[in-house]
Chain A
């Protein structure tokens, strides 16, 4: 699976849940949204090796 977050990319070959992916990238679920193949998904969703995953940071302001 191809994962992008803040101009960084990762490749993962295995199936995993959204929650596991966020844990692996050390991200709090409350600070991001996960979009799988163009659709927003909840943390209990399974991500497959062929999925295109975009993690969107939700924090803004200064």
Chain B
């Protein structure tokens, strides 16, 4: 297989784009496509300060790398969740984020250590609150809260995450299976800021297949954590990803069309927010972040119970 640009031996082939590229032209294509997505969805401008949520995985490190290459002012945020497992997952992923940051002195890496700051790891708080149930929902809640907190406290204009097309298509698939109209309305490459205290969130990689971000990190020599979070095993979203990947294998481009046609349909008004879905937000009495709960937000309720023990 030959590179379409220069005719050299290709290292990566994208059947859905009918495009094979070499080790020089693939990263160039990848960076250019990211830039186009940022412009198309009006994610941010060159003057704005970006906080990139970095997990130590391929997507977030690739995103941070590309944004810096494009000349954006982008700092990283790593949240240490205190996940151990057989391979000391958090320590290992934190090390990857730190190594990347060391190689990019122009950017800053903010680290939030959850057990250190709040007294319990994700698994411990999930055990106490939900009796050992899979801690993924607690993890999501903690990450969302902390990402928003750091973005606001640090004066960042926007929070960028490394969600890729496979992530977005799997979420869309799950939301469609259950006709979660409220979630469908809010799913997209940009979640606008809310004057009440929610930072703008963007997903510049939402049109890249997971395989494309992995290929970029490998070609660029970015060291990332290969292992999965030990709690991810058996997760529904992974099952949905597998189904969609099989469909894409049989008909290349299925995932991309599924997601892009959803965005188009949304733009044309297929989904609209119902009055009853429009949550009334007010500041949490403890942390000040927006919540629909009467007094404390769900995040503060997690730790308040811990304080009382």
Q: Do A and B come from one complex?
A: yes
Q: Which of chain A's residues has its CB closest to B213's CB?
A: A58
Interface residues of A in 21-62 (CB under 8 A from B): 28-33, 35, 39-45, 56-62
- Size band of the B side of the interface? 35 or more
Q: Which residues of A contact B249 (CB under 8 A)?
A: 28-30
Closest to B248 in A: A30
In the bound assembly, the distance between CA atoms of A13 and B215 in angstroms comes to 27
CB contacts (< 8 Å) of A39 on chain B: these are: 11, 23
Q: Which of chain A's residues have a CB closer than 8 A to the CB of B186?
A: none
Bound complex: CA of A32 vs CA of B211, how far in Å? 7
Residues of B within 8 A of A56 (CB): 214, 218, 226
Instruction: List residues 174-221 of chain B with CB under 8 A from any CB of chain A.
Output: 209-211, 214-215, 218-219
Whether a CB of chain A sits under 8 angstroms from the CB of B271 is: no
CB pair A59–B11 under 8 Å, yes or no, is no
Contacts of A30 in B (CB 8 A): 209, 211, 245, 248-249
CA–CA, A15 and B211, complex, Å? 26
Cα A45 to Cα B232 in complex, Å, equals 33
Q: Which residues of A contact B233 (CB under 8 A)?
A: 62
In this assembly, does B106 line the interface, its C-beta being within 8 Å of a C-beta of chain A? no
Encode B210-243 as 1/0 by CB contact (under 8 A) with A.
1100110011000000101101110101100110
- Per the CB 8 Å criterion, the residue count for chain A at the interface is 21
In this complex, what residue of A is CB-closest to B218? A40
Known A-B contacts A30-B249, A57-B226; the reply to A62 vs B210 at CB < 8 A is no
Q: Is the CB of A60 within 8 A of B58?
A: yes
- Let me know if B215 and A40 touch, CB within 8 A: yes
Among residues of A, the one whose C-beta sits closest to the C-beta of B20 is A42
Whether B210 and A59, one on each chain, are in contact in the complex, defined by CB atoms closer than 8 angstroms, is yes
CB distance from A6 to the nearest CB of B (A): 9
- Interface pair A42/B10, CB less than 8 Å apart: yes
When the two chains form the complex, which single residue of B1, B20, B136, B238 contacts A59, counting CB atoms closer than 8 Å? B238
Residues from chain A with Cβ under 8 Å of B167 in the complex = 61
Chain A interface residues toward B at CB < 8 A: 28-33, 35, 39-45, 56-62
B interface residues, Cβ below 8 angstroms from A: 1, 10-13, 20, 23, 57-59, 136, 166-167, 170, 209-211, 214-215, 218-219, 226, 228-229, 231-233, 235, 237-238, 241-242, 245-246, 248-249
Subset of 19 A-B contacts with CB under 8 Å:
A28-B246, A30-B248, A33-B218, A40-B23, A40-B215, A40-B219, A42-B13, A43-B13, A58-B210, A59-B166, A59-B238, A59-B241, A59-B242, A60-B57, A60-B210, A60-B232, A61-B235, A62-B229, A62-B232
